């Protein structure tokens, strides 16, 4: 079942056309990495999927519904996101943020359960603003999981994190994917992560999906790694 | 949902030292301090210090709450990315806006009571039931006017630093040209000209008149009311245009 279908997507900022007819599909349970150089339009693409950015042309269908003809609140209930940089109300403590978002999502998940699952007990009483970058991302992911989303969108979730925190974050993401069959779409500049965790890769270049293939397909086509594939396909 | 949002909005307000100092510390302390200096004087309309400056300092608190904790806060949420994250959540924008408005009215009402009590205890302010009710009703109307003006003004800011500088500068301008700290007629001519364009100056004059039962429909009150109505209309048009630019 297709969770996301994008046809001929176009988006410009003034005279700068960022997306020039991009096509994309994501099925239930897939983890898809979106790569491309800085300014390629990755974040723009994700923000359109998040339903917070308008677009100029094409069609975006989420959960079998065209987002321009649907109730966005109904669609948003099924999506969760981790943004870069992650920001929440800075004067709320971690536990308070979880409670507030639990109310937003009308979630049945117990707060103490999510605190336990994400090892947040030592940080429960800390202000979000006082957490390290890694723990902010973990809290952001914990909040994202409160809604038990069918689609999880992550914009550079591991940027700036040390290897342990990166590993921890990926463990949560892959566990969620395995446990719930939820779809994950993310951007990253870390090609090693793409190779390790993603089922498919979409390379955005010159505003289109220049390559959209399985990770194994890319490796089978003769590239020794996704990193090498990126270097050969994308020029500065 | 509204009560949950309001609870956390009030909690966040109580933890923002910047808001607290400018809203519920500085104005009452200044009211007390000015009263010690000028408490014995008589002001326009043959009013004493408490009759003139109690409504003025209530208005100062209203202005600081609405401009700092409502208007500036919106810019802060927008520029730090909090607004973006919340907009992806399935919470109605109406709930968020309504909670911010209720929070502002609760805080300004607290200011209304605080200044009135200080005036009553320190400066023999006379509080008559119907006069207080009428003044409170008008004060709520002033809240609405300021909320609309603040929303429109701060909707133009895309950077927190510029909004902060603007807020601090506008605070000084409003206090000195609004007749909120000392009578405008004692100020230099150019300040008196600027005061005519300051909506807080007109609000202050109307509020003092209503507070003391001296309100009458004359050219001055009609001019002040008309000017405020015009500003509200311009602000609503600005807000309408800004909202149309955003995706639902």
- The CATH code of the domain that includes A197 is 3.40.50.300
Closest Cα in chain B to A90: B12
Q: Are residues A179 and A202 in the same domain?
A: yes
Q: Cβ of B89 and A105 within 8 Å? A: yes
With respect to residue A83, please indicate whether it lies within any of the assigned structural domains.
no
Say whether pLDDT at B90 is over 60: yes
Average pLDDT in chain A:
89
Q: Cβ of B1 and A103 within 8 Å? A: yes
| Structural domain for A121, as ranges | 88-148
Q: Are residues A177 and A138 in the same domain?
A: no
- Give A105→chain B minimum CA distance, Å: 6
Residues of A in contact with B1 (CB under 8 A): 103-104
Q: Give the model's confidence band at B248: pLDDT under 50 very low, under 70 low, under 90 confident, else very high.
A: very low
pLDDT in tens, B161-186: 899 899 889 888 888 888 877 778 88
Position A107 scores a pLDDT of 86
Instruction: Identify the residue with better confidence: A185 or B128.
Output: A185
For chain B, the three-class secondary structure string (H helix, E strand, C coil) is CHHHHHHHHHHHHHHCHHHHHHHHHHHHHHHHHHHHHHCCCEEHHHEEHHHHHHHHHHHHHHHHHHHHHHHHHHHHHHHHCHHHHHHCCCCCHHHHHHHHHHHHHHHHHHHHHHHHHHHHHHHCCCCCHHHHHHHHHHHHHHHHHHHHHHHHHHCCCCCHHHHHHHHHHHHHHHHHHCCCCCCHHHCCHHHHHHHHHCHHHHHHHHHHHHHCCCCCCCHHHHHHHHHHHHHHHHHHHHHHHHHHHCCC
- What predicted TM-score, i.e. pTM, was given to this entire model? 0.82
Where is the domain boundary, A112, A127, A148?
A148
Q: Cβ of A52 and B84 within 8 Å? A: yes
Closest Cα in chain A to B12: A91
Position B245 scores a pLDDT of 65
Q: Give the number of other Cβ atoms within 10 Å of residue B152's Cβ.
A: 21
Q: Which residue has the tokens 């979106």?
A: A34
How far is Cα of residue A199 from the mean position of the Cα atoms in its chain? 14
Contact status of A76 with chain B (Cβ, < 8 Å): yes
Q: Give the model's confidence band at B246: pLDDT under 50 very low, under 70 low, under 90 confident, else very high.
A: low
Residues of chain B that touch chain A, judged by Cβ-Cβ distance less than 8 Å: 1, 4-5, 8, 11-12, 15-16, 80-82, 84-85, 87-92, 247-248
Say whether pLDDT at B247 is over 60: no
| Structural domain for B151, as ranges | 2-245
Position B232 scores a pLDDT of 94
Least CB-CB distance to A91: which of B16, B85, B247?
Answer: B16
- Give A6→chain B minimum CA distance, Å: 19
Q: Based on the structure, what is the number of domains in chain A? A: 2
Provide, rounded to the nearest whole percent, the portion of chain A with pLDDT above 70.
100
Interface ipTM above 0.90: no
Q: Based on the structure, what is the number of domains in chain B? A: 1
Which tokens go with B230? 């015009």
State which residues of chain A have pLDDT below 70: none
Closest Cα in chain A to B93: A73
């Amino acid at each position: 079942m297709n969770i996301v279908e994008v046809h001929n997507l176009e988006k410009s900022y003034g005279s700068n056309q960022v997306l020039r007819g991009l096509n994309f599909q994501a099925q239930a349970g897939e983890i898809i990495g979106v790569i491309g150089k800085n300014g390629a339009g990755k974040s723009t693409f994700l923000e359109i999927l998040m339903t917070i950015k308008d677009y100029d042309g094409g069609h975006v269908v989420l959960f079998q519904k065209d987002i321009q003809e649907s109730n966005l609140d109904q669609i948003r209930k099924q999506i969760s996101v981790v943004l870069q940089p992650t920001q929440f109300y800075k004067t709320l403590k971690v536990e308070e943020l979880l409670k507030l978002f639990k109310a937003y999502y009308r979630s049945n998940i117990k707060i103490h359960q999510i605190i336990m699952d994400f090892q947040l007990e030592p940080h429960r009483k800390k202000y979000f603003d006082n957490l390290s970058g890694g723990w902010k991302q973990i809290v952001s992911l914990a909040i994202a999981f409160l809604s038990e989303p069918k689609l999880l969108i992550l914009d550079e979730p591991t940027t700036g994190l040390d290897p342990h925190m990166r590993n921890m974050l990926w463990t949560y993401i892959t566990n969620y994917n395995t446990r719930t069959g939820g779809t994950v779409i993310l951007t990253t500049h870390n090609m090693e992560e793409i190779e390790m965790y993603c089922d498919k890769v979409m390379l955005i270049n010159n505003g289109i999906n220049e390559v959209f293939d399985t990770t194994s397909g890319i490796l089978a086509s003769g590239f020794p790694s996704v990193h090498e594939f990126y270097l050969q396909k994308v020029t500065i | 949902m509204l009560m949950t949002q309001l609870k956390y909005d009030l909690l966040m307000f109580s933890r923002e030292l910047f808001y607290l100092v400018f809203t519920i510390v500085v104005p009452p302390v200044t009211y007390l301090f000015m009263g010690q200096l000028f408490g014995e004087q008589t002001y326009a309309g043959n009013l004493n210090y408490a009759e003139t400056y109690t409504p003025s300092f209530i208005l100062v608190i209203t202005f600081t709450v609405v401009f700092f904790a409502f208007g500036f806060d919106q810019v802060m949420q927008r520029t730090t990315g909090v607004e973006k994250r919340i907009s992806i959540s399935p919470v109605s924008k109406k709930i968020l806006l309504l909670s911010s408005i209720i929070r502002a009215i609760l805080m300004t009402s607290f200011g209304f009571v605080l200044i009135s009590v200080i005036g009553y205890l320190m400066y023999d302010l006379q509080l008559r039931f119907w006069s207080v009710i009428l003044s409170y009703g008008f004060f709520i109307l002033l809240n609405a006017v300021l909320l609309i003006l603040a929303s429109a003004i701060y909707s133009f800011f895309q950077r927190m630093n510029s909004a902060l500088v603007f807020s601090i500068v506008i605070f000084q301008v409003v206090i000195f040209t609004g007749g909120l700290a000392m009578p405008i007629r004692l100020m230099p001519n150019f300040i008196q000209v600027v005061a005519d364009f300051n909506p807080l100056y007109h609000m202050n004059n109307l509020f003092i008149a209503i507070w003391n039962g001296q309100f009458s429909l004359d050219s001055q009150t009609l001019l002040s009311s008309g000017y405020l109505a015009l500003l509200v209309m311009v602000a609503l048009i600005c807000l309408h245009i800004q909202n149309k630019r955003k995706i639902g």
